[in-house]
Amino acid sequence: MVSLHTSPVDESTARGLLTEYFQSREIGFAHQGITYTPVFPDAEAFTPPRGVFVVVRDDSGDAVGCGGIRLIADGPHGRRYEIKHLFLRPETRGRGWGRLLMADLEARARDLGARELVLDTHHSLEAAAALYAATGFTGIERYNDNPNATRWYGKVLAGTQTG
């Protein structure tokens, strides 16, 4: 059964998954004539209470995906976390693990007091957009200056505990 484990974002397994993710984006964007600018995340931004990073492991215990949340400036609904670096290896897709990872990150954000989750993506990543819509995200105004993004999404976390 698939499992999710917190990990320092700069730990070797997490860094390897991020390298894979960035390489896949560079290749995909290059086919469209777009330059992708990878930026490895700051470990402090993904350390509680500022954030968390999660590694997805398959039935065999192999690391097959990752994703994280990080605290950013408050938004119109209050405390805001951003989902970053959501990645699953292609051979794992279609199993519901993306939804599982999104639900896990949302629960972790709620535990950290988030009132809203946001994320950005590129319009060419249609499967990602479908996942975000299926997990309750809707289009919002641009909230950052990410040069790789063309779409921004948000989700208000109703019933979030504050404290």
Share of the chain above pLDDT 90, in %: 75
- Give every CB contact of residue 44 below 8 A, 6+ residues apart in sequence: 50
Q: Which pTM value belongs to this model?
A: 0.90
Show me where the domains of the chain are located: 3-115
Q: Which listed CATH number (3.30.9.10, 3.40.630.30, 1.10.580.10, 3.40.190.10) goes with 3-115?
A: 3.40.630.30
Q: What is the mean pLDDT of the chain?
A: 90
pLDDT tens readout for residues 11-47: 999 999 999 988 887 656 656 666 666 678 899 999 9
Which pLDDT does position 115 carry in this prediction? 97
- 26 touches 38 (CB < 8 A): yes
* Beta strand segments in 35-150, E: 51-57, 63-75, 78-88, 116-121, 138-139
Which pLDDT does position 163 carry in this prediction? 45
Q: Which residues lie across from 88 on neighbouring strands?
A: 65
Q: DSSP secondary-structure letter at 41?
A: P
Is pLDDT of 139 > 50? Answer: yes
**Cα–Cα dist 62/64, whole Å:** 6
Is pLDDT of 159 > 70? Answer: no
Is pLDDT of 111 > 80? Answer: yes
pLDDT tens readout for residues 35-91: 666 678 899 999 999 999 999 999 999 999 999 999 999 999 999 999 999 999 999
What is the arrangement of strands in the sheet containing 63-75, beginning at the earlier edge strand?
3-6, 51-57, 63-75, 78-88, 116-121, 151-156, 138-139
